[in-house]
Amino acid sequence: MSVHDDLTTVQRCLDDLLRSVRRLEQDLGTGLEMRRVRADADHLRESVALLREASAGPARLPAVPGPAGPASGPRPDLVRIPDTPYDSSLWTDSDDEGLGSSHGPTH
């Protein structure tokens, strides 16, 4: 199945879900639980619309193989980490975050 076919299937199921939620809302009223279900269904609708837009975009990034399969997400930029020793003099005038400053008298 293509991505377009999968999105069409998801959209069809979502349309069925929204119709069912409307019927339940008519039968059960608009209590807190029903409002939450309605909000969740609306969020799903918005998310599928965003997904459809992203999949139709001209610049689709290549996927990275991962535990979820070959299409687990865009490939992140690689960051090279040097093997040279760390230069601690870069941080001599800074304070450790969360530990407070060491500007007071020492014992």
Domain boundaries, the chain: 3-56
Q: What does the pLDDT read at residue 28?
A: 92
Helix (H) or strand (E) holding 44: helix 32-56
Q: What does the pLDDT read at residue 104?
A: 61
Give the model confidence (pLDDT) of 36-91 as tens digits. Answer: 999 999 999 999 999 988 888 765 544 544 444 445 556 677 778 888 888 888 87
Q: What does the pLDDT read at residue 68?
A: 47
Phi and psi of 44, rounded to 5°?
-60, -45
Higher pLDDT, 5 or 99: 5
Q: What is the CA angle 20-23-24, rounded to 5? A: 85
- State the Cα–Cα distance between residues 78 and 76, nearest whole angstrom: 6
